[in-house]
Amino acid sequence: MKRIFLSIILLLSAHQLAFAKQEPWVEELKAAQAALAAKDYRTAYDLYRSKADRNPLAQFVIGLFHHNGWDRAPDPRTACSWFEKAAAKSIPAAEHYWGDCLAEGIGRAPDVPAAIAWYGKAASHGHLISQCSVADHYIQGKGVPKDVKRGVELCTQIAQANSPPAMLKLARYYREGKDVPQDLAAARHWYQQAAERRSAEAQYQLGLMLAQGEGGEPDLDSALFWLETAAGNGHVPAYLPTAVLYANAPVQQATGALAPEHLAKIYLWAAAAKARSGTPEQLTAAEKLEAQVLAVMPETWRADLDKKVAEHLARYPL
């Protein structure tokens, strides 16, 4: 939760942050930030609301409360009303969310041309990924004439401007091959670019593509590196495949068994997957791996490994 307010701040462009500090929009929200980080949603909401009449950053965060359903039922109409207020004061992320409201027709008829205009404003104020939302409309022909080439070019420009979210979006387009011709090599390239910029989702997807030989030759060593990097960053979907790759690592020539450090890693990531499994199938697979490694792993290792698993899960709470 401490990362929530940081993420909100990072949604602002450097120019907007400088202006915010002058105004001082950020400074006066420190108490609200602390309450939100402590998961005291009611206090946080009241503190943000007390500043929202004149603080556009507070207006934007109030919109997020209603949009995300923080300690309340999601209320898209109310969220959009707050995003509109903050967008009018040039908060870049609010301009983007307000564009979403217009595109989806929340509380009014959809107005895609107006949405595209707001996405353009957000991008011009530093929220570059908004151009990929424009791209979505052209690629899918939503509210504008379909123009796949133009849409891909728009999002590619943002990806080339060093935007990991744009890289992820391009990679998904190329991998899925629904609205854009499938190009697995291009998908792998863009996942690689985003993975190198610390996107855990990209690290996970790149690891899967490398393991499965999608978009190029299989590379199990690189697959394990990226999957474990994602897992180490708390990306839950990477836990089980990381354990599986360790379980399928080559055995030691001298002993005919897995290396001790590999046994430990199988247990660590299988236990983490077991704790955070999202489906019965994942839970069953994690339990099976855990049972297999416990059959050969020295019992004396277990207490220390369980402690490491607990520390990791505490570092990355759900």
* pTM as predicted: 0.86
Token digits of residue 112: 């895609």
pLDDT tens per residue, range 72-93: 999 999 999 999 999 999 999 9
Residues 178 and 272 in one domain: no
pLDDT tens per residue, range 165-187: 999 999 999 999 999 999 999 99
Convert 293-305 to b/e letters by CB count within 10 Å (16 or more is b). Answer: bbeebeeeeeeeb
Residues 134 and 34 in one domain: yes
| Domain closes at, from 162, 195, 230 | 230
Domain count, the chain: 2
d(CA 230, CA 238): 6
CATH number of the domain bearing residue 75: 1.25.40.10
Residues 226 and 238 in one domain: no
Closest CA to 127 of 93, 86, 85: 93
Q: What are phi and psi of 182, to 5 degrees?
A: -65, 135
Residues 23 and 121 in one domain: yes
Residues 196 and 247 in one domain: no
| Domain closes at, from 208, 230, 252 | 230
Residues 219 and 243 in one domain: no
| Domain closes at, from 210, 230, 250 | 230
> Long-range contacts: 160-163, Cβ < 8 Å, 24+?
161/128, 162/197, 163/128, 163/129
Q: Which residues, in sequence order, are CB contacts of 76 under 8 Å at separation 6+?
A: 66, 67, 101, 106, 107
Res 207 pLDDT > 60: yes
Residues 25 and 126 in one domain: yes
> Where in the sequence is the domain holding 40, given as residue range(s)?
2-230
Residues 217 and 238 in one domain: no
pLDDT tens per residue, range 88-102: 999 999 999 999 999
Q: How many CB atoms lie within 10 A of CB 68?
A: 12
Residues 286 and 193 in one domain: no
Residues 207 and 134 in one domain: yes
